[in-house]
A and B are shown apart, each in its own frame.
Chain A
Amino acid sequence: MMYNLRQKGETIISGFGCWVLNFFVSLAGLVKMILAAFKSFPNPLNPGRGSIFLVFFKQVYFTGLESLKIIVIISLAIGTVLIAQIVSLTGTGNESLIGKVLVWVVIRELGPLLTAVIVIARSGTAIATELGFMKINGEIDSIESLGIPKEQYLIAPRIFGVATAVIILTIYFEIFSIIGGFLAASIGWHIAFEKFFHGIISSLTVIDLSASIVKSLFFGLFLSAACCRHGLNVGKSTTQIPQEASKGVMQSLFLVFILDGIITYASFAFRSS
């Protein structure tokens, strides 16, 4: 009995150890992939830059522009809900606190985080699936047979395209959350625009804005790299495509939450130094 428990305990510990090790190996692979993407970013004198930028702009269009409608609706709703909660907690006449909470919650946390989650759900799965299909159909081999490296033509523009789109969408998310919040405050509790706006501006710092941009940049880089990596992991069977796509999504979500914690901690450390 005791032996069995001990054995089970050891299995759990070694299983957890394996998982941690695999996580770090996988993370190192993603960092390597992102660095390779930076390295293979096309030289302005390279004649192939036009084709690469075309893939980049398509990715920005697909991830950024086509998600904008969803982002706008969700951010307006989040802003409205947040204001309703804050006002019900603090009551009216406390506009500076309303602004402060909105900055803390939306700009520091929810903006980059929810944008990344929406992008993972929409574009992350699409990237992993598309690359998986390309791999199975031999399209990646066909591209490489033309002397075009997949890192430069397929991976780098997707990574940078998604990162750019996540930064832009985060900015939109934050602006529309504040607009939604103002509309709710104005219609529901007759809070004047000047007071509302002053409350936000007085609470907003450069560090808040920078942390938000840095978060969205890292989220974009890592989530796209994770989805690209899982898409390229597909072997010869089509059943591997949904498996790898869901693994890509799960890894991206996990990384986004871990990175969020790290960057938030770093920004607080920087603020208090």
Chain B
Amino acid sequence: MTNIILAENISFNETAEATSFRMQLGGVYILLTSKDEEVAALTRILIGMDMPPSGKIVLFGSDTATISARELQNTRRRIGVAFKSGGLVSNLKAWENLTLPLHYHQRMSNNEIEKEGIAMLGRLGYTGGYMDLPGLLTISQKKIIGIARAMLIAPQVIIYESPEYGFDQEEKIHFFKNAAEFHREKTDRVSIFLSASAEVMRFIPEAAVVNLTKGPTHDN
């Protein structure tokens, strides 16, 4: 099977031991770390924003250390990232945050964008104001906008950073159900859940778990 992400002997901070893993077309993965900070560091490494202190990451067949900035930008357009706290831009309203990548990358009419955006927010159960600035939203509302933004671009790879954070039990169930449905919509989609909480495994029993808490190399 084709490797979408290949990590070879990477360590995501100076003290962690090197580890290797690969993620293949259509797979669902949980990357379990011991701390939240490691989740954030690993997200940045996986999307090529930071280089790992050791080892290499091969993303869609290209080494992130040698790929050009333009190629990396194009590669990132195939990856949706739902950040821990939403990753919203504070001077853009909720709706502007949601539709920013569509307006920027896609040739879609405003009507099409509006239709898709409203449908996605409805699907994820968004309850906040569309024209509110992120400062006025709750953590879970910010998170839903961030998740909807990542899903709207129909990415081949979707990364959920600390997906359990900021949601109550009911919201967690709703989110993981939606994430599983979203994964099934495209046969070659890769879904990656990065978390420091083992609770995530309970919500996605079908996922392959890469346990980065123990240190030694794991190869899935």
Contacts and interface: CB of A to CB of B under 8 A. Distances in A.
Given A47-B106, A138-B83, A141-B49, A146 B88 contact: no
Given A141-B44, A145-B76, A145-B81, A130 B105 contact: no
A51 interface: yes
B76 A51 contact: no
A79 to B, nearest CB: 36
Contacts of A149: 69, 73
Report the interface size class on chain A.
Answer: 20 to 34
Given A141-B44, A141-B49, A148 B104 contact: yes
B49 A146 contact: no
Interface in A149-164: 149, 153
Of A50, A51, A144, A145, most buried by chain B (CB within 10 Å of CB) is: A145
Interface residues of B, number: 26
B46 to A, nearest CB: 10
Interface in B51-102: 69, 73-77, 79, 81, 83, 87-91, 100-101
A51 B49 contact: no
Interface in A65-98: none
A134 interface: yes
A142 B83 contact: yes
Contacts of B100: 51, 143, 146, 148
B87 A138 contact: yes
A133 B134 CA distance: 14
A235 interface: no
Nearest to A58: B91
B104 A48 contact: yes
B115 interface: no
Contacts of A143: 89, 100
Contacts of A44: none
A155 to B, nearest CB: 14
A146 B101 contact: yes
Contacts of A51: 100, 103-104
Interface string B102-119: 011111000000000000
Contacts of B83: 138, 142, 145
A146 B104 contact: yes
Contacts of A130: 91
B121 interface: no
A139 interface: yes
A140 B6 CA distance: 26
B47 A145 contact: yes
Interface string B29-44: 0000000000000001
Interface in A95-145: 130, 133-134, 137-139, 141-145
A123 to B, nearest CB: 14
A62 B130 CA distance: 23
Nearest to A137: B90
A273 B166 CA distance: 70
Contacts of B90: 133-134, 137, 139
Given A138-B83, A141-B44, A145-B81, A47 B89 contact: no
Interface string B151-191: 00100000000000000000000000000000000000000
A139 to B, nearest CB: 5
B5 to A, nearest CB: 15
A115 to B, nearest CB: 25
A130 B90 CA distance: 10
Of A134, A138, A142, A148, most buried by chain B (CB within 10 Å of CB) is: A142
Contacts of B107: 47
Contacts of A147: 73-77, 101, 104-105
Contacts of A137: 90
A228 to B, nearest CB: 15
A143 B92 CA distance: 12
Nearest to A45: B107
Q: 6 closest Cβ contacts across the A-B interface?
A: A142-B87, A147-B77, A48-B104, A147-B76, A146-B101, A51-B103
16 contacts: A47-B103, A48-B105, A51-B100, A51-B103, A139-B87, A139-B90, A142-B87, A142-B89, A144-B73, A145-B76, A146-B76, A146-B100, A146-B153, A148-B100, A149-B69, A149-B73
Interface of A: 47-48, 50-51, 130, 133-134, 137-139, 141-149, 153
Given A142-B89, A144-B49, 16 more contacts: A47-B103, A47-B104, A47-B106, A47-B107, A50-B103, A134-B91, A139-B89, A139-B90, A141-B49, A144-B76, A145-B49, A145-B76, A145-B79, A147-B77, A149-B69, A149-B73
